[in-house]
Amino acid sequence: MTPETKLPKVGTTIFTVMSQLAIEHGAVNLGQGFPDFDVPTRLVEALARAMQEGKNQYSPMTGIPALRQAIAAKTERCYGYMPDADSEVTVVSGASEAIFDAVHAVVRPGDEVIVLDPCYDCYEPAIELAGGVAVHVPLDPRSFAPDWQLVRNAVTAKTRMLMINSPHNPSGAMLDADDIRALTELLRGTDIILLSDEVYEHIVFDGAIHESVLRYPELRERAFVVSSFGKTYHCTGWKIGYCIGRPALSVELRKVHQYNTFCSFTPAQWAFAEMIEAQPEHYEQLGAFYQEKRDRFREQLLTTKLKPLPVPGGYFQLVDYSAVSDLDDAAFCRWLTVEKGVVAIPLSPFYGAPPPGQRLARLCFAKNEATLDAAIERLQKL
Q: What is the pLDDT of residues 312-364, one digit of tens each?
A: 999 999 999 999 999 999 999 999 999 999 999 999 999 999 999 999 999 99
Q: 11 falls in which pLDDT band (50, 70, 90)?
A: confident
Which pLDDT score is estimated for 22? 79
In the CATH scheme, what architecture does the domain 14-39+284-379 have? Alpha-Beta Complex (3.90)
* pLDDT surpasses 90 at 14: no
Q: Is residue 230 within 8 Å of residue 200, measured between CB atoms?
A: no
Which pLDDT score is estimated for 277? 97
Which pLDDT score is estimated for 32? 84
Q: 12 falls in which pLDDT band (50, 70, 90)?
A: confident
Cis peptide before 167 (omega within 30 of 0): yes
* pLDDT surpasses 90 at 8: no
Mean pLDDT, to the nearest integer, of 263-292? 98
Which pLDDT score is estimated for 92? 98
Mean pLDDT, to the nearest integer, of 72-87? 98
Which pLDDT score is estimated for 13? 79
Which pLDDT score is estimated for 3? 80
User: What are the pLDDT digits (tens) for 16-50?
Assistant: 888 888 789 899 999 988 899 999 999 999 999 99
Strands 28-29 and 342-343: parallel
CA quadruple 133, 134, 137, 138: dihedral sign:
negative
Mean pLDDT, to the nearest integer, of 296-323? 98
Which pLDDT score is estimated for 291? 98
CATH tag, 41-279: 3.40.640.10
CA distance 213 to 53: 37
* pLDDT surpasses 90 at 87: yes
Q: Do domains 14-39+284-379 and 41-279 have the same CATH topology?
A: no
* pLDDT surpasses 80 at 1: no
Which pLDDT score is estimated for 79? 98
* pLDDT surpasses 90 at 9: no
Bridge partners of 117, per DSSP, are 138
Q: Count CA within 13 A, CB hemisphere, residue 98.
A: 31
For the chain, the domains span 14-39+284-379, 41-279
E-assigned strand segments in the chain:
28-29, 89-92, 112-117, 133-138, 159-165, 193-197, 223-228, 241-245, 307-308, 316-320, 342-343, 345-346, 360-364
- Contacts of 347-351 spanning 24+ positions with Cβ under 8 A: 347/118, 347/170, 347/318, 349/13, 349/14, 349/121, 350/117, 350/118, 350/119, 350/120, 350/121, 350/170, 351/117, 351/118, 351/136, 351/138
Q: What is the DSSP letter of 173?
A: -
User: What are the pLDDT digits (tens) for 179-236?
Assistant: 999 999 999 999 999 999 999 999 999 999 999 999 999 999 999 999 999 999 999 9
- Max CA separation in the chain (angstroms): 58
Which pLDDT score is estimated for 23? 85
Of the candidates 14, 334, 23, 324, the one whose C-alpha atom is nearest the C-alpha of residue 169 is 14
Which pLDDT score is estimated for 4? 85
User: What are the pLDDT digits (tens) for 115-149?
Assistant: 999 999 999 999 999 999 999 999 999 999 999 99
Q: What is the DSSP letter of 202?
A: T
Cis peptide before 356 (omega within 30 of 0): no
Mean pLDDT of the chain: 96
